[in-house]
A and B are shown apart, each in its own frame.
Chain A
Amino acid sequence: MTGCFNFINPLAVTEEPGTTAGDFYTRNFEKKAVPGRIILNLGPQHPSTHGVLRILCEMDGEYIVRCEPVLGYLHRMHEKMGEVKTPWQFIPNMGRVDYLHPLAWTWAFVGACERLAGIEIPERAEYLRVISCELNRISSHLLWWGAFVMDLGGVTPILYAFEEREKINDILQIITGSRLTMSSFRFGGVCTDADERFKSLAKEFIPYLRERLKMYKGLVTDNIILRRRLEGIGPMDADICRRYGATGPILRAAGLARDTRKDFPYSVYHKFDFPVPAGPANDCFGRYLVRLSEIEASLMIVEQALASLPEGSHIMEKAPKANWKLPAGESYMAVEGARGQVAVHVVSDGGPKPYRVKLRAPGFSNLSLFAEAAAGTLLADAIAILGSLDLVIPEVDR
């Protein structure tokens, strides 16, 4: 592991002008550091940073005195691309913002455009969106679960998680056509209808995963080593969530049952009976439990939606195509993503391309509280806190 860290000892820096160690961000960060303390670069290629996040830490022995995430290594300027493509051409971008829950982003963008244009989609399409988005949420949580436990030193569980994830990918591939950058929603519906194979595979998957979740509990959740690494570590209460705009499982672990699917009802979620797990603890273990409960809640939604899937078309007649223009105006649409409130703010002047597309990434706000939460903790605990935030860096950087 040591090889992944890049130590810069300020005492070793020569005094000659122009030869200071570190880059722009290190030098800026160093200005406030106490002389003699080690500045540690965690990332951007460290395995526990999930992508390419870099965190500058001022260390006092094993303790983090102060830290600052450095972003931008995966920045692709999706917001600019939104202004140079037609809305229809921009849909595939949404599959690439957050590669673990791409359908939430696709939904937020497609939904914002549909609301602005006053488009109502067939009920079957709404159901298919719900089913695919929830299956996608489960696969996102499963990957988080495996990767999080791996961050803490348990290498085996991610292999189990990937087995489940493969099954979900096989199912979703039938109606989305992809296994990672899914962006199958279209203005007016979804691109492919569900066939019998999709329905039977999805129905079989629900009891299968429920059984596996019992195994997860015995193998990992009740494991004493895991608990000692997580319980009481990184408490985040409702106030820090409010000050930083943190949403999703972090906010729910803090005891507030806030969920966009209930608070700003969209699509057909009001037709399904599902719990919003909140609490019982606001530490790393609490966030772990909330996500596992959410997998079960999503299974409940998928089960109900499959049982009551209405007949009809999967896309409206004369659905908008590549040259479709948005009417003038603005729309802000939020959906509940695996990491929190995903929102897209579309502003149009009636021209062929959107005037402005703003992407609100939940991971961005959730990560912004890390510096405050990690100050004063052991470096090893900071890794647990980072993992408990469930970061997807391409979403943070956009």
Chain B
Amino acid sequence: MNGPEQWLNDWRKAGALSLSRHDPAKEGITVSAFLPAAALISSAEKLGQAGYTLLDISALEALEGLVVTYHFDSFKEPGRLALRVLVSPRKPALPSLYSVFQGAEWHEREAADFFGLVFENNPNLIPLLLPDDLPGPPPLRKKNGALSPISKLGLLGQAEIIDPGFGAACGLGE
């Protein structure tokens, strides 16, 4: 059974851009990581094999781009953790987790409705909650002036930045 520290190690090997420790009493999660989109499925597979379930997908638009947060919890040994992917708003595509967690289909469709995200290989990426003919930009995308940087939103917790490019993009040093 992996503890939070082993997951951090796992994600480091998977090529994480940053690793974070959180205060569970305040933030509700133990550890989190920003992963490159390419490492998402394999990391989710490991969580699935260890008995974790996908609780939800909580996306938001920050100054650096769209942050897609996947919350996981274990049925064997409760303890929430999060994987995050930073996606460019101009090309908001990332892989679907449907093959690992079938429940991801709906969470992804919801995030697609609200943020215009495209989940590749989602089996049925049609509108879920919003009408199929809704005009205008996705409703939870923010106006340019209203964007805040990731570091200010506290998503990094106590972070260890691994990828210098990612750190620079988030306005953080090594």
Contact = CB atoms under 8 A, between A and B. Distances in A.
Interface stretch (A33-41, A175-183, A311-319, A355-363): A355-363
A261 to B, nearest CB: 11
A372 B102 contact: yes
Interface in A77-122: 77, 79-80, 83, 112, 115-116, 118
B56 A358 contact: yes
A34 to B, nearest CB: 18
Nearest to A372: B102
B53 interface: yes
A151 B124 CA distance: 30
Nearest to A344: B28
B101 to A, nearest CB: 6
A330 B48 CA distance: 25
Contact of A332 (B71, B103, B139): B71
A333 B25 CA distance: 9
Given A80-B139, A264-B78, A347 B102 contact: no
B145 to A, nearest CB: 12
A24 interface: yes
B55 A329 contact: no
Quick one: which of B101, B128, B154 has the most chain A CB within 10 A?
B154
B26 A115 contact: yes
A82 B33 CA distance: 26
Contacts of A397: 129
A347 B84 CA distance: 14
Nearest to B154: A329
A330 B26 CA distance: 8
B114 interface: yes
A345 B102 CA distance: 22
Interface in B122-159: 124, 126-133, 139-140, 148, 152-155
A355 B60 contact: yes
A356 B153 CA distance: 10
A24 B25 contact: no
Contacts of A83: 140
Quick one: which of B29, B54, B103 has the most chain A CB within 10 A?
B103
A251 B27 contact: no
Contacts of A388: none
Given A238-B75, A264-B78, A75 B26 contact: no
Interface of A: 24-25, 28, 68, 71-72, 75, 77, 79-80, 83, 112, 115-116, 118, 238, 241-246, 251, 256, 258, 263-264, 328-334, 341, 343, 345, 347-351, 355-356, 358, 360, 364-365, 368-369, 372, 397-398
Given A244-B103, A329-B27, A345-B71, 15 more contacts: A72-B128, A115-B25, A242-B75, A256-B75, A263-B78, A264-B80, A332-B28, A334-B28, A343-B56, A345-B56, A349-B152, A358-B56, A360-B55, A365-B55, A365-B106
